[in-house]
Amino acid sequence: MGSLDTNPMSFSALPNDKAAFEPLNPEDVRAYLHKAVDFISDYYTNVESMHVLPNVKPGYLQDELSASPPTYSAPFDVTMKELRTSVVPGMTHWASPNFFAFFPSTNSAAAIAGDLIASAMNSVGFTWQASPAATEMEVLALDWLAQLLRLPTTFMNRTSNGRGTGGGVILGTTSEAMLVTLVAARDAALRRTGSVGVSDIPRLTVYAADQTHSTFFKACRLAGFDPANIRSISTGPETNYGLDPAKLLEAMQADANAGLVPTYVCVTVGTTSSNAVDPVGAVADIAAMFNAWVHVDAAYAGSACICPEFRHHLDGVERVDSISMSPHKWLLTCLDCTCLYVRDAHRLSDSLETNPEYLKNDATESGEVTDLKDMQVGVGRRFRGLKLWMVMRTYGTAKLQEHIRSDVAMAKMFEDFVRADGRFEVVVPRNFALVCFRIKASGAMTEEDADEVNRVLMENLNKTGKAYLAHTVVGDKFVLRFAVGSSLQEEGHVRSVWDLIKKTTSSIMN
Ligand SMILES: Cc1ncc(COP(=O)(O)O)c(C=O)c1O
């Protein structure tokens, strides 16, 4: 390949260009998908031996494949060959058992099957009527997951007493969950202040710990909050980088005294940087004094809360307004799948509802159904509920809990290795399956030297292709993050990477 495909005849001789064009011919569907499924199965067999981080330069793909689209058709085998030879070598292999960066993106056969079938059906269930089963499946899957998380029934679409006042929706990302709840909270606050239109927006204030994911601050700007009214509350080692309720109260009170309107607090259970946990119940009590909306971002750690031993991290959730968690991070459900629950679904739909003539239908008019378009930004939507339901239906709660516990046990094993080696330190206490560690400053090595040594350690590890770790900064220290959980990971992988870390550290220190 290499250069631009300028020859318009390159694929023109293929006989099937003369045949009728039937892109959804059932026999082609069967043949193409068999090849795709064989590819996937082989990929999972071989991914462990592939370099986790690819060694490619920016723009490499355009150099390998044609820069212009082909005019004429090609056999599907040509497409698959280019996938194998050009695309796979440039992938970062999130599915590799040697992937320990960021948070894992977990997956399972049941989820992939659900996603595949949803793609094939390709329904666009914006209203109940546009695809009753897609809407009902999403509602059912969310209610099942709510029970796994032991959320109060006030968050459920349906309870044993019939339709509930709460509700859920599956979105693509946590950022969207933050955005839609911020908009609902903004509108509720404007109603409370008796604002003329949006005239009071400059008075509305929002709050989050400085460890909150940066996407929250972006969502606030998207929702129209004045950046000067976004309060980032500082945290430190005294609360293990969780939000200090006293500091929150002080900030909210100061704003209220100044005639501002505290509107929204974002609480994180399992921060991205170090897995810190903000105290949900204490924050909810403070926010209630100001009528502010509380949202819990449990994107990663929410999955752990299906195990009774981790559920205490959500204590107080019955007093918050919304919570979101992403099974695509740690509950074996492929991207994208962020589950948002709100205690009063009407507060979302009051802000997000649209009702154009062309979508009007009897089911909506009856008030008996949920139209999920009214709980999200877009109108169109993927049938995401299917894969989530398939995961829960196929594996059952016990196996899902076992999966979480096994990852946590591997992380604990790694943490024990780190603690037993005097050259290293665990920088913050481990809450879930993330270990934040580093080579510690000792002897003549200053903290700044240690930062540099740890950076070199990470770079050297990642260069081997045998492991991929990412970093963060906690309390001004450069820290390596070791996130266990990639679905193919087993104890042996953790042990091998630890051996690699020790060896690489020795060679750097020497
Ligand atoms: C705690 C937390 N919140 C929010 C996000 C951002 O999520 P998304 O990319 O789904 O918007 C992440 C991503 O890792 C996260 O860990």
pLDDT along the chain (510 residues), means of 10: 41 61 95 98 98 95 93 96 97 98 96 98 94 96 97 88 84 98 98 93 98 97 97 97 98 98 98 97 98 98 98 98 98 97 94 94 91 95 97 98 98 98 96 98 93 98 97 96 97 98 94
Please tell me the distance from the alpha carbon of residue 141 to that of residue 392, in angstroms, as a whole number: 8
CB 305, CB 333: distance < 8 Å:
no
Centroid of ligand 1 to alpha carbon of 338 (angstroms) = 10
Residue 87 DSSP class: I
Flag whether 8 is in a domain. no
82 inside domain: yes
Tokens of 124: 């666009």
Q: CA 98 to CA 88: how far, in whole Å?
A: 16
Q: Known catalytic residues?
A: 358
Site to substitute for ligand 1 among 170, 266, 326, 338, most atoms within 8 A of C-beta: 326
- Answer yes or no: is 104 within a domain: no
Burial of 88 (0-12, 13-18, 19+ CB in 10 A): middle
Q: Which two tokens stand for residue 469?
A: 């770790």
One domain, residues 405 and 374: no
At residue 376, the pLDDT reads 96
Domain assignment of residue 359, given as a range: 123-382
Report yes or no: 292 and 264 within 8 Å, Cβ to Cβ.
yes
Residue 228 domain-assigned? yes
Burial class of residue 406, CB neighbours in 10 A (0-12, 13-18, 19+): middle
198 Cα to the center of ligand 1, angstroms: 29
| Same domain? 221 vs 145 | yes
Distance of CA 192 from the midpoint of ligand 1 (Å): 30
Residues 53 and 198 in one domain: no
378 and 404, same structural domain?
no
Co-location of 257 and 289 in the same domain: yes
Whether residue 466 is contained in a domain is answered as yes
**What's 291's DSSP letter?**
T
Q: How far is the CA of 269 from the centre of ligand 1 (A)?
A: 11
Helices (H), 97-207: 109-121, 132-148, 174-193
Residue entry with tokens 């509350």: 233
CA-closest residue to ligand 1 atom 7 = 174
Claim to verify: residue 375 and residue 321 sit in the same structural domain: yes
Residue 44's nearest CA partner among 91, 82, 95, 81 is 95
DSSP characters for 364-430? HHHT-S--GGGGSS-S----THHHHHHHHHHHHHHHHHHHHHHHHHHHHHHHHHHHHSTTEEE-S--
Of 358, 382, 406, the last residue of a domain is: 382
d(CA 202, CA 261) in angstroms, rounded, equals 9
The conformation of residue 99, written as its DSSP 8-state character, comes to: B
For residue 203 the two structure tokens come to 């008075």
Where residue 454 sits, what CATH number does that domain have?
Answer: 3.90.1150.10
Map tokens 């020795």 to a residue: 506
Q: Is residue 102 part of a domain?
A: no
- Do both 293 and 331 map to the same domain? yes
Task: Tell whether omega for the bond before 63 is within 30 degrees of 0, i.e. cis.
Answer: no
Of 382, 406, 423, which residue sits at a domain end?
382
The per-residue pLDDT for 4 is 38
Among 382, 415, 443, the domain boundary falls at 382
Q: Would you state the pLDDT for residue 15? A: 52
268 CB less than 6 Å from ligand 1?
yes
Within 8 A by CB and 6+ apart from 491, the residues are 410, 413
**Pocket lining: 173 vs ligand 1, CB cutoff 6 Å:** yes
Q: How many helices (H) and strands (E) does the chain have?
A: 15, 13
Tokens of 356: 């154009």
Ligand 1 contact via 297 beta carbon (within 6 Å): yes
Query: In this predicted structure, what is the pLDDT of residue 16?
Result: 59
- CB of 432 closer than 6 A to ligand 1? no
The whole-number pLDDT of residue 115 equals 98
| Pair 418, 424: CB distance under 8 Å | yes
Q: Which atom of ligand 1 is nearest to the CA of 215?
A: 6
Looking at the structure, tell me whether residues 499 and 425 fall in a common domain. yes
Task: Provide the 8-state DSSP code for 226.
Answer: -
Give yes or no for residue 103 CB within 6 A of ligand 1: yes
Indicate whether residue 328 lines ligand 1 (CB < 6 A): no
- Give the C-alpha distances (Å, rounded to integers) separating 447 from 208, 225, 452, 472, 480: 29, 38, 9, 15, 14
Please tell me the distance between residue 222's alpha carbon and the centre of ligand 1 in angstroms.
16
- Amino acid identity of residue 421, one-letter, is D
* In a domain? residue 24: yes
For residue 101, is it within any domain? no
CATH of residue 71? 1.20.1340.10
State the distance from the centre of ligand 1 to the C-alpha of 182, rounded, in angstroms: 16
14 vs 73: CA distance, rounded Å: 7
- Which of 102, 211, 212, 213 for mutating ligand 1's site (highest number of atoms within 8 Å of CB)? 213
Q: Residue 270: how many CB atoms within 10 A of its CB? A: 28
pLDDT of amino acid 3: 38
**Sign for the pseudo-dihedral over CA of 472, 476, 478, 482:** negative
Same domain for 279 and 134, yes or no, is yes
User: Please, which residues have CB within 8 angstroms of residue 381's CB and are 6 or more apart in sequence?
Assistant: 124, 125, 126, 372, 373
- Work out how many domains the chain is built from and give that number: 3
- Indicate whether 150 and 220 sit together in one domain: yes
Q: At a CB cut-off of 8 Å and minimum separation 6, what does 355 contact?
A: 364
Ligand 1 pocket member 300 (CB < 6 A) = yes
Other C-beta atoms lying within 10 Å of the C-beta of residue 13: 8
Ligand 1 site, residue 240, Cβ cutoff 6 A:
no
Residues 292 and 407 both lie in one domain: no
* Cβ of 213 less than 6 Å from ligand 1: yes
> Which of 103, 174, 268 should be mutated for ligand 1, with most atoms under 8 A from CB?
174
- Co-location of 369 and 409 in the same domain: no
Q: Considering only CA atoms, which residue is closest to atom 16 of ligand 1?
A: 272
Dist. CA 28 → ligand 1 center (Å)? 38
What is the DSSP-derived secondary structure letter of residue 441?
P
For residue 376, what is the domain's CATH number?
Answer: 3.40.640.10
d(CA 399, CA 370): 31
- According to DSSP, residue 463 is labeled H
User: Quick one: which atom of ligand 1 is closest to the CA of 102?
Assistant: 14
Amino acid at 208: A
Tell whether ligand 1 has an atom less than 6 A from the beta carbon of residue 181.
Answer: no
212 lines ligand 1 (CB under 6 A): no
